[in-house]
Copies of this chain bind each other. A is one copy, B any other.
Amino acid sequence: MRLPLAMLTPMAVNFSSDFTRYDQKLEFILRTAARIFAEKGYHSTTMRDISRATKVSLAGLYYYCKSKDELLFLIQDNCFGRVLERLEERLQETAEPVARLRLVIENHLSFFAANMAEMKVLSHEADSLAGEMYAHVAGKKQQYTRLVRRILADVQAEQKLARPKLDLTVATYALFGMMNWIYNWYDPRGKLSVRDLVDNLTRLYLSGFLVGPGAAEPQAAARPAKAERLSVWRGAEG
C-alpha cells in the first residue's frame, strides 16, 4: 500500500530519481481532476465524474488519494509551489525593483496561461478547503502576497518626490485582481498571444490607461524566461 504525496511537509515530492508508475497515474488523476474542477467547479464535480474521465473505477481512485478534499489540496499545493519556486529562481536575476516587478507579472501570467485549469482552481476554489489543508495553502498564498508587496514597496521607495503615494494594499491586490481575473476571459489559444497579454498588462499596471503628459518611456515587459517546465506537472505535455 503506497502513501500518497506526503501532505503538509515542505518537500512533498521526491524529485530526485524515480517517477514511478504510481506517481504517473496519480498525476494523471490530478490533471484530469483539475480540468473537471475548472469546468464545473469543485463542489459540483463528483468522484464519479473523475472516475468516468480517468477510466479508473470509483473505488480505485481511493487508492491514490484519501478523499476528494485531498485531490483539491494536491492540485492547489503543487500548483502554488511551482509558481513560487519559479518566481524565486527568476528574481535572482536582478535587484532592480522595477525589473523585479516586471518579472513578477511575466512569471505569474505566463504560468497562468500555461496552466489555466490548475490556476483557475487555485484562484476560484481558494475557500473550498478547510482545516489544515486550507491553512497550508493559505500560508503559501500569504508568502506570495508578501513577496509581491515587498517588491512594490521597493519600487515606491525608489520613486522620488512622489505625490500622495498609492496605498500598498490596494496596489497589491489590484495587481492580483488584474492577473487572476484572466481565467474569466482569456483563451491562450485565441488571437492574443501570451506575450501580448503580458506586455499589455505590464504597461497598464505600470503606466496606467491614460497616456501621461510626459514622454514616451517605452516599456517592454520582462522578457519571457526560457520555456522550461512551464507545466505544473512532470509527465507529458502541459
Contacts and interface: CB of A to CB of B under 8 A. Distances in A.
When all copies of this chain in the complex are counted, the total is 2
A181 B180 contact: yes
Interface in A107-134: 124, 126-128
A59 interface: no
A6 to B, nearest CB: 28
A89 interface: no
Contacts of A214: 212-215
A205 B210 CA distance: 8
A171 interface: yes
A33 B219 CA distance: 47
B218 A209 contact: no
Interface in A121-164: 124, 126-128, 152, 155, 159, 162-163
Interface stretch (A20-28, A60-68, A192-200): A192-200
B200 A166 contact: yes
A92 interface: no
